Structure 1
C-alpha cells in the first residue's frame, strides 16, 4: 500500500467508499467500504482505471499550460459522492471516493495527504 493510501485511510474523518493505488499499467484496490462492496464489477473497476489514467496523462499537459509544476489533488464533485485523485509519481496516483455533503472536510483531507507526501 502506498504512503498516500495509508494517509487517506488514516485520516480522521469520513470512511472512504473506495481507495485504490493506480499505477501506470495496473491498479490495486486497497479498501472497499462494506456497504459498497459488490457494487462494482472487475470490468467496472478496469474501465474506471482506464478513464482515470487517461485523465492523469492529460493532467500533466494542463499543469504546464497553467504554469504549475505540481498539484495536490484533483477533485470530482457529484451529487452524493466526492472523488479525489492524489498524484504520486508520474502517471501514478491514488483514487479515493467518499460520500459527500457540504460538511465534508475537503481541505483537511488534501492537507493530510500533502503532509504525508512531504515526509516520503
Structure 2
C-alpha cells in the first residue's frame, strides 16, 4: 500500500504553497477559489492538498502538539543545501542536530506548520 496524498488546512494557502514549491521541490498543479485550495505534487506522484483553515480556527488549534510533516532526503549534501536555502529565505530553521547517526532539523512553514527534514545513513 502506498500513501497517496496528504490534505492539510493552513491559514494562507498561497504562502504555504510557495514554501513547498521553493524549498521542497513540489509543483503547483491547481488552485481554486481565492487562496482557498491548492494541489501540489512531489516526488513519486505524492499529492499535497492545502485548504484554507475555517476562519474561526486559530492556527494553534489546528493540529495537536508535535504534529509535523517530515521529509527524508537522499544525502547529507541535500540536507545541508535545504537548510541553507531556508536560512537564506529567513525561515529560521533550527540548527542541524545529530541523533543516533542521523541528521535532522526543524522549521516552520508560514502559519506555523512544523516541518522536519532528516537524513538517515544507509544501514
**TM-score if structure 2 supplies the norm length?**
0.28
**TM-score if structure 1 supplies the norm length?**
0.28
Higher percent of residues as helix: 1
Higher percent of residues as strand: 2
